[in-house]
A and B are shown apart, each in its own frame.
Chain A
């Protein structure tokens, strides 16, 4: 009963493990190692399990969340690369990153290849090229302050910045890019706003 209580307590954390294991190993699902002290929210997004789809429903595309933490790079500089590959197919993104001169391009390429492999092995993706990048974000990692020596005994305090990189791959071709807003669209919206006006505080 103790084991069942402990398993029930952690079922929200590892639902797929609990659903998959039919045997009754006591405390096998409890994570007791201290190395991964805090599993981030992005990693947990891979653990959600949807109920089986009904026969008539359209197929839900597979979503793969992957990230790398504490990359020795600036988050602002990494953002430009993340913005570059947002919305591209994975092959195009890998091509762009291969010929980019930035340091973060190599890191992001490794992350994308890892995510692609994860998708094929664990997330039931059929074609590794049939993925596109739905979201790609950067986050701030831990910063440390260090002393930078100048001449004449002066010193400055520099901060060594690190960043995280998050990517979400979704199965399927990339969505078509939004057409830019033309003046005609803006005029149409304006006319529609004028037409939506009504008389207030009346019958």
Chain B
């Protein structure tokens, strides 16, 4: 709920009105010399408007009236909406939250997961282990731009590098191999 409070600027408005009046009088000096109402042509002849209608043209060519006057032309509610009407709109079935039918149980850990999304728990587990491996790699490399051109192999406690891991960089992790991290 925001209520904009505009500080009134009467001086600025009066200044604008005076300026506009001066402008009008400057453009058409002869019109409002004696008579105040604008008078149209005496003969109703189809043709270009010979008498400049200063006020009408000025008003139609003016910019949009200031905010304080255009309030009369803004849309505003006429009646207070009753709570019953409000309830009909807010509690319409299209606005209620739908019951999700795509929730399953993860076969690995038993937590809940959405069918098209990875299990949150398993993903967090893998993410944590990856972070630990990356920390080991950082310690081995020592600084940036030291990545070797060979492959990397991660070995856990009690594992020896095989013939396939001949020329590869070996990263040691000081824990038992997790069940989900299959060795080659």
Contacts and interface: CB of A to CB of B under 8 A. Distances in A.
A77 B2 CA distance: 18
Contacts of B43: none
Interface residues of B, number: 17
B83 interface: no
A84 B99 contact: yes
Contact of B97 (A80, A98, A148): A80
B94 interface: no
For the residues of A in contact with B, the DSSP-based class is: mixed
B4 A100 contact: no
What class of interface size applies to chain A in its complex with B?
A: 20 to 34
A46 to B, nearest CB: 29
A121 interface: no
Interface string B73-107: 00000000000000000110001110110010000
B4 to A, nearest CB: 6
Interface of A: 76, 80-81, 83-84, 95-96, 98-100, 102, 148, 150, 153-159
27 contacts: A76-B90, A80-B96, A81-B97, A83-B91, A83-B97, A95-B100, A95-B103, A95-B112, A96-B99, A96-B100, A96-B103, A98-B103, A99-B112, A99-B114, A102-B97, A154-B4, A154-B5, A154-B7, A155-B5, A156-B2, A156-B3, A156-B4, A157-B1, A157-B2, A158-B1, A158-B2, A159-B1
Interface of B: 1-7, 90-91, 95-97, 99-100, 103, 112, 114
